[in-house]
Amino acid sequence: MPLLDILLYPDRRLRKQAKPVKQVTEDIRQLIDDMAETMYAAPGIGLAATQVNVHQRILVIDTSEERNDLRVFINPIIDSGQGETETEEGCLSLPGIRAPVMRLESITLSAKDRLGDEFTLVADGLLAICIQHEIDHLNGKVMVDYLSRLKHDRIRKHLLKEQHEQTVRHAGASAI
Ligand code: NI
């Protein structure tokens, strides 16, 4: 199975609104498998389809220490939430960046699993934070949107510079 390319902020495609999955087909399951493999390889604890340039409402998450508890959320909806918690978050689309984000502390969520069956889940702790972070991606939102404009701009410029330097390095290497 191929690893998928992860879009890097400020790529505009990260701003697209993902559409609900109408039917959970074999193609969707193949995409889920590829997304999971990409997430584990990165390594990361969550990945939204938006980040691999597929604009459908699909998330894969594994917040377990052992990396053996893959969770799949298709068309996830947060039905209710309680409390507030602030954590330093990271994101595969913003390598090397950490930012404090305020989230609901616990959530009740409904979604479909990889077989297309509906389920509900009560989540708290890291799982709840991760689900909210990934749902933001489906809505075209990234964690730096929660920061002040000044900090946001600084991070944007820093990442653009890094991406530019990497492109130059790659171009140099292939010229040899
Ligand atoms: Ni992210």
Average pLDDT over residues 143-152: 95
The domains found in the chain, sorted by start residue, are 12-147 (3.90.45.10)
Question: Of all residues in the chain, what percent carry a pLDDT higher than 90?
Answer: 92
Helix (H) or strand (E) holding 134: helix 125-138
Q: What are phi and psi of 72, to 5 degrees?
A: -120, 130
What digits encode the pLDDT tens for the residues 70-89?
Answer: 999 999 999 999 999 999 99
Q: How confident is the model at residue 110 (pLDDT cuts 50, 70, 90)?
A: very high
Single-letter code of the amino acid located at 61: I
CB atoms within 10 A of CB 147: 16
Q: Provide φ and ψ at 43, rounded to 5°.
A: -90, 150
What pLDDT, on the 0 to 100 scale, is given for residue 168? 85
40 Cα distance to chain centroid: 13
Answer whether 0.85 is exceeded by the pTM.
yes
Ligand 1 centroid – CA 152 distance (Å): 15
Query: Three-state DSSP class for 164?
Result: helix
- pLDDT tens, residue by residue, 21-44: 999 999 999 999 999 999 999 999
Residue 176 in this model has a pLDDT that exceeds 70: no
In angstroms, what is the span from residue 1 Cα to ligand 1's centroid?
Answer: 22
Q: What are the catalytic residues?
A: 134
Mean pLDDT of the chain: 95
> Does residue 175 have a pLDDT over 90?
no
> Are residues 29 and 72 in contact, defined by beta-carbon separation less than 8 angstroms?
no
Which of 112, 175, 156, 141 lies closest to 10 in space, CA to CA?
156
Q: Distance between CA 55 and CA 115 in Å, rounded?
A: 20
Residues in the 5 Å CB sphere of ion ligand 1: 91
State the CB neighbour count (10 A cutoff) for residue 40: 16
C-beta of residue 4 within 8 angstroms of C-beta of residue 52: yes
Cα 146 to ligand 1 centroid, rounded to whole Å: 13
Residue 148 Cα to ligand 1 middle (Å)? 18
